Amino acid sequence: MLPKNGHVAEIGVFKGDYSGRILRNLKPQKMYLIDPWVNSDDPDQSTSLYGADSEHNMDSVYQSVLDRYSDEISTGQVEVIRAPSPGAMSDIADGSLDFVYIDGDHRYDAVLLDLEISMQKLRPGGYIALDDYMMTNWWKDGVVRALNVFLGAHSDQIMIDRCLQRQVLLRKRDDTTATATSGPVT
């Protein structure tokens, strides 16, 4: 149901496992893989995949992604941007993306910012999928609270399309969806 052959971005790539699923299933014309690939020294993130306690060296993980998608990078289908999402997304044209997958920094402020920036970069009718809408990990209520606040602020522009376990799919309204879904509260 997600748009095929479109322009998509993944915020938070790690080893590129989910990137592969998006590439296989959506066959995007263009896919931005966005991740700073740095080991964080923030104590709050020490148990994260990229925290101080992690076994993963993020320089090596970054190199493994370049190797894994070298064919797609050489054709220009995949563009790897090694930077935190706010800066990386600023180079992408507003209203140009069909789909953004958000799975980066799970802290409240960062998730809220990722949602706001993604909304700006999305075309009308485009989709955002947000991973890890749950509270039982190092990010505590960060993801849940950020989505709830975001939805409260943008209920006229975005709607929940569906939830599947801990993933939430949002759709940016266009004129058609706005007309189809709005109506009197009964």
Q: Which residues bind ligand SAM (CB under 6 A)?
A: 11-14, 17-18, 34-37, 49-50, 84-85, 103-105, 110
Q: What Rg, from alpha-carbon coordinates, does the chain have?
A: 17
Please say which residue, 139 or 173, places its beta carbon nearer to ligand SAM.
Answer: 139
Comparing CA positions, the residue from 66, 95, 80 lying closest to residue 12 is 80
In single-letter form, the type of residue at position 134 comes to M
Q: How far apart are CA 127 and CA 2, in angstroms?
A: 8
Please say which residue, 36 or 142, places its beta carbon nearer to ligand SAM.
Answer: 36
Beta bridge partners of 78: 31
Closest approach, Cβ 49 to ligand SAM, in A, equals: 5
Closest approach, Cβ 136 to ligand SAM, in A, equals: 15
Please say which residue, 53 or 175, places its beta carbon nearer to ligand SAM.
Answer: 53
Closest approach, Cβ 122 to ligand SAM, in A, equals: 17
Please say which residue, 81 or 158, places its beta carbon nearer to ligand SAM.
Answer: 81
Comparing CA positions, the residue from 92, 75, 87 lying closest to residue 32 is 92
Please say which residue, 85 or 118, places its beta carbon nearer to ligand SAM.
Answer: 85
Tell me the three state secondary structure of residue 176. Answer: helix
Closest approach, Cβ 33 to ligand SAM, in A, equals: 9
Closest approach, Cβ 121 to ligand SAM, in A, equals: 14
What angle (nearest 5°) sits at the alpha carbon of residue 43, between those of residues 86 and 34? 25
Contact between residue 38 and residue 13 where contact means Cβ atoms under 8 Å apart: no
